[in-house]
């Protein structure tokens, strides 16, 4: 919780978390977006995230399971998505305008890759509901 001063009163604002799911045309495209998130150089010169978001690269997810015989040999290949999937738990994306109105939106360039599922999907963030926290 963060205390905020508004019109002379102390109010407590809970920092928001939002969960979003994305589909990219390729791994490279996804990595370009991920690597564009805020970062700093560590002592070895490597880029390390300076943001508090949690990014999970799911890759080309399995849409339909493959089938295998008793010897473990594939009899029917699994069907993989043609899109590269990424889930993100966004933290502290709130922006407040001059009138005190708070808005939350995807970072620049991410919204066009967002997908909207009717379920929780194949991946979750430790008890944080996608349905209750999606953008």
Beta pairing partners, 134: 19
User: Can you tell me the distance from the alpha carbon of 58 to that of 44, in angstroms, rounded to the nearest whole number?
Assistant: 28
Beta pairing partners, 86: 22, 57
- Arithmetic mean of pLDDT, 67-84: 96
- Arithmetic mean of pLDDT, 94-105: 87
Pick the more confident residue, 4 or 106: 106
Are the C-beta atoms of residues 86 and 110 closer than 8 Å to each other? no
Alpha-carbon dihedral sign for residues 42, 46, 51, 55: negative
Pick the more confident residue, 122 or 9: 122
User: Can you tell me the distance from the alpha carbon of 47 to that of 42, in angstroms, rounded to the nearest whole number?
Assistant: 6
User: Can you tell me the distance from the alpha carbon of 36 to that of 28, in angstroms, rounded to the nearest whole number?
Assistant: 12
The confidence score (pLDDT) of residue 112 equals 97
- Arithmetic mean of pLDDT, 86-115: 92
What is the residue-averaged pLDDT of the chain? 88
User: Can you tell me the distance from the alpha carbon of 58 to that of 30, in angstroms, rounded to the nearest whole number?
Assistant: 11
């Amino acid at each position: 919780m963060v205390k905020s001063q508004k019109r002379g009163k102390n109010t407590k604002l809970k920092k928001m978390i939002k969960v979003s799911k994305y589909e990219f045309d390729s791994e490279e495209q996804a990595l370009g977006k991920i690597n564009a998130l805020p970062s700093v150089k560590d002592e070895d010169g490597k880029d390390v995230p300076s943001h508090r978001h949690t990014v999970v690269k799911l890759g080309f997810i399995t849409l339909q399971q493959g089938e295998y015989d008793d010897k473990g040999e594939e009899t029917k290949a699994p069907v993989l998505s043609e899109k590269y999937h990424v889930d993100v738990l966004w933290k502290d994306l709130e922006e407040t305008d001059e009138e005190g109105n708070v808005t939350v939106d995807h970072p620049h360039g991410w919204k066009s890759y967002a997908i909207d599922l009717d379920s929780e999907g194949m991946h979750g963030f430790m008890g944080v509901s996608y349905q209750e926290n999606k953008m």
